[in-house]
Amino acid sequence: MKAKEYLSILQEILHHIDEGVHVLDRNGNTIIYNESMSRLEKMETNEVMKKPFGEVFKNLNSENSTLLKALKYGVPTFNLNQTYLNKYGKEIKTINTTFPVVINGQIIAVVEIAKNITKMAEMSQIILKLRNEIGGPEKAKNKRIKKYNFNNILGNSRNFVNVIQRARKASENSASVFIFGETGTGKELIAQSIHYEGIRKNKTFIAQNCAALPGSLLEGLLFGTEKGGFTGAVDRAGLFEQANGGTLLLDEINSMPYELQAKLLRVLQENYIRRVGGTMDIPIDVRIIATSNEPPEVILKENKIRKDLYYRLNVIQLNIPPLRDRKDDVLMFANMFMHKYNNKFNKKILSISKEAQDSLLKYDYPGNVRELENIIMSAISMADDDEITLNKNHFTYFNLDREHINIEYCMGDTGINEYLEDLEKKIIENALKGNGHNVTKSAEALKIKRQTLQHKIKKYGIKF
Check if the beta carbon of residue 244 is closer than 8 Å to that of residue 286: yes
CA distance 353 to 444: 28
Q: What's the pLDDT tens digit per position in 62-116?
A: 777 889 989 999 989 887 777 766 666 666 778 889 999 998 889 999 999 988 7
pLDDT(451) > 90? no
2: buried, middle or exposed (CB in 10 Å: 19+, 13-18, 0-12)? Answer: exposed
Q: What's the pLDDT tens digit per position in 395-406?
A: 865 454 444 444
Amino acid at 442: S
Which range among 81-90, 242-251, 347-356 shows the weakest confidence by mean pLDDT? 81-90
Looking at per-residue pLDDT, the higher value among 364 and 141 belongs to: 364
pLDDT at residue 18, rounded to an integer: 77
Question: Cα 259 to chain center, whole Å?
Answer: 18
Average pLDDT, integer, range 409-427: 66
What rounded mean pLDDT belongs to the chain?
A: 82
Write down the pTM of the prediction.
Answer: 0.60
Is the Cα torsion angle 178, 300, 258, 370 positive or negative in sign? negative
Average pLDDT, integer, range 383-411: 62
Check if the beta carbon of residue 170 is closer than 8 Å to that of residue 213: no
DSSP 463: -
Q: How far is CA 151 from CA 124, 154, 155, 159, 441, in A?
A: 33, 8, 11, 18, 26
Neighbours of 43 (CB within 10 A): 17
- pLDDT band at residue 214 under the 50/70/90 scheme: confident
pLDDT at residue 203, rounded to an integer: 93
pLDDT at residue 253, rounded to an integer: 94
Check if the beta carbon of residue 174 is closer than 8 Å to that of residue 246: no
Q: From edge to edge, which strands make up the β-sheet containing 247-251?
A: 205-209, 247-251, 287-292, 177-180, 316-319
DSSP string for residues in 46-107: HHHTTSBHHHHSTT--TTT-HHHHHHHH---EEEEEEEEE-TTS-EEEEEEEEEEEEETTEE
SS (H, E, C) 340-384: HHHHHHCCCCCEECHHHHHHHHHCCCCCHHHHHHHHHHHHHHHCC
Average pLDDT, integer, range 318-341: 93
Average pLDDT, integer, range 15-21: 81
pLDDT(231) > 50? no
CA distance 206 to 418: 34
Average pLDDT, integer, range 280-290: 94
Return the percentage of the chain with pLDDT > 90, whole number: 38
Q: What's the pLDDT tens digit per position in 160-182?
A: 999 999 999 999 999 999 999 99
Neighbours of 50 (CB within 10 A): 10
pLDDT at residue 408, rounded to an integer: 40
Looking at per-residue pLDDT, the higher value among 87 and 265 belongs to: 265
Domains of the chain: 16-116 (3.30.450.20), 119-319 (3.40.50.300), 324-460 (1.10.8.60)
- pLDDT band at residue 124 under the 50/70/90 scheme: low
Element (H, E) at 282: strand 282-283
pLDDT at residue 141, rounded to an integer: 43
- pLDDT band at residue 118 under the 50/70/90 scheme: low
pLDDT at residue 405, rounded to an integer: 40
CA distance 178 to 266: 17
